[in-house]
Amino acid sequence: MTLPPDPAPAERPERQRLQMADIARIAGVSVATVSRALNGSQEVSAATRQRISELARSLNYTINAGAKNLRLRHNKTVAVVIPFDQQARLHVSDPFFLSMLGSLADALTDQGYDMLVSRVDADQLENAARAWDTGAALGVILIGQWHSHAQINAMSDRGVPLVVWGAQVPLQRYCSVGGDNVAGGLMATRHLIERGCRRIVFIGDPTTPEAAQRLRGHQQALLDAGLPHDPALQLHSSFDTGQARVALSRLIESGTVFDAVFACSDVLAMAVMQTLRLHDREVPRDVAVVGYDDIEWASHADPPLTTVRQPVAHAGAEIVHALLDSVAGEIVPPRTLAVELVVRRSSLR
């Protein structure tokens, strides 16, 4: 019997099922018996295992080791995927991504697992499950959900074990682990108000779940203080620093009065401080600034940046534990982690 050449990876699972059926017909046994024999099951006699193994070798049949390991729970690799969203424009080189990758690597190592890192286009997020589909990984961790909520739900619906670093959102059918964004936005803006600020600019992209929740906290703090929410002070910007600089420069040039900025990331906050300096605004004397994440660079900024600290070190362990529980077949609910305000000179007027 002559078999076709080894198919492409995407076709291989279907072709292997056909080959196993061929072996079963030639050996005069069931497909289940062939599967057990090739996987070394003691439920099949030694003589039958040897006969089927020799037949498989003569037909150049090879077992998909990744799928076998997945079935037997022997796979020790987790796929960590970073979606690239053209709208958010947050790159793998972003310091927050790097710190999260480090936290996940530490947590996986502690549990005896390896990490397979990849980046996929957020518009084709189904590719994030490729490592699981092929058996190369036992589950998937996504760093960021961006605008891909429906696609992540679809992956979860088809049984892909996955955990997302991101915000908990309505109609969510997957497990997310993330910081308390509403509380973060609330404490950042409340701090600025307590420092005497009354005209506070918000910079971020509220079309993304995390930034939307930070904006909600920001607006709640204004409401609690009896301050109006001025739409002119809400600057829509992705995580691209160029966009933030342009948006803030236009606001300054328009003559709009403001005395503080709350930025949705530390990288954006540092771009804000540079832009203010170019327009002869001193931080914090003229404009107080608060960022978000507490990346390593925040404490070394000029002036050192007040920011909302994300629980990155704790998050890695939480995400890994949640994924392993999901792989074990448990229903894993979303987890929201506490954040904290780290006060430095950029907001001390």
What are 114-162's pLDDT values in tens digits? 999 988 887 788 888 888 888 889 999 999 887 778 889 988 888 889 9
CATH of the domain at 46: 1.10.260
Q: Which residues contact 111 (CB under 8 A, 6 or more apart)?
A: 320, 324
Q: 105 with 57, same domain?
A: no
What sign results for the dihedral spanned by CA atoms 183, 189, 190, 191? positive
pLDDT bracket for residue 220 (50, 70, 90): very high
The phi and psi torsions of 73 (rounded to 5 degrees) equal 60, 25
Q: 218 with 194, same domain?
A: yes
Q: 214 with 266, same domain?
A: yes
- Residue 272, pLDDT above cutoff 90: yes
Residue 71 lies in a domain: no
> Which tops the pLDDT comparison, 2 or 78?
78
Two tokens at 327?
A: 């792989």
Query: What pLDDT is recorded for position 215?
Result: 98
Query: What pLDDT is recorded for position 69?
Result: 52
Nearest in space to 71 (alpha carbons), one of 43, 24, 39: 39
- Residue 315, pLDDT above cutoff 50: yes
3-class secondary-structure state, position 74: coil
Residue 72 lies in a domain: no
What are 86-120's pLDDT values in tens digits? 655 556 677 888 899 999 999 999 999 999 998 88
C-alpha 80/C-alpha 85 separation (Å) is 16
The phi and psi torsions of 143 (rounded to 5 degrees) equal -95, 95
The total of structural domains in the chain comes to 3
- Residue 14, pLDDT above cutoff 60: no
C-alpha 31/C-alpha 235 separation (Å) is 62
Query: What pLDDT is recorded for position 71?
Result: 52
Query: What pLDDT is recorded for position 39?
Result: 67
3-class secondary-structure state, position 78: strand
C-alpha 329/C-alpha 264 separation (Å) is 36
CB 145 within 8 A of CB 174: no
C-alpha 144/C-alpha 165 separation (Å) is 5
Query: What pLDDT is recorded for position 18?
Result: 44
> Which tops the pLDDT comparison, 122 or 169?
169
Name the average pLDDT for the chain. 87
CATH of the domain at 108: 3.40.50.2300
Q: At what angle do helices 12-27 and 31-38 cross, to 10 degrees?
A: 110
Residue 3 lies in a domain: no
Average pLDDT over residues 313-332: 93
Query: What pLDDT is recorded for position 181?
Result: 97
Residue 103 lies in a domain: yes
- Given 63, 86, 104, the domain boundary residue is 63
Range 98-123 burial, b when 16+ CB lie within 10 A, else e: ebbbebbbebbeeeebebeeebbebe
Average pLDDT over residues 3-29: 57
Q: 109 with 162, same domain?
A: yes
What are 188-211's pLDDT values in tens digits? 999 999 999 999 999 999 999 999
Q: 236 with 296, same domain?
A: yes
193, amino acid identity: I
Write down the pTM of the prediction: 0.78
- Residue 255, pLDDT above cutoff 90: yes
- Given 40, 63, 86, the domain boundary residue is 63
Residue 27 lies in a domain: yes
- Residue 252, pLDDT above cutoff 90: yes
Query: What pLDDT is recorded for position 120?
Result: 86
Query: What pLDDT is recorded for position 201?
Result: 98
Average pLDDT over residues 15-36: 74
Residue 160 lies in a domain: yes
Domain that holds residue 211: 181-311+342-347
Q: 295 with 198, same domain?
A: yes
Q: 273 with 165, same domain?
A: no
Two tokens at 148?
A: 């891909």
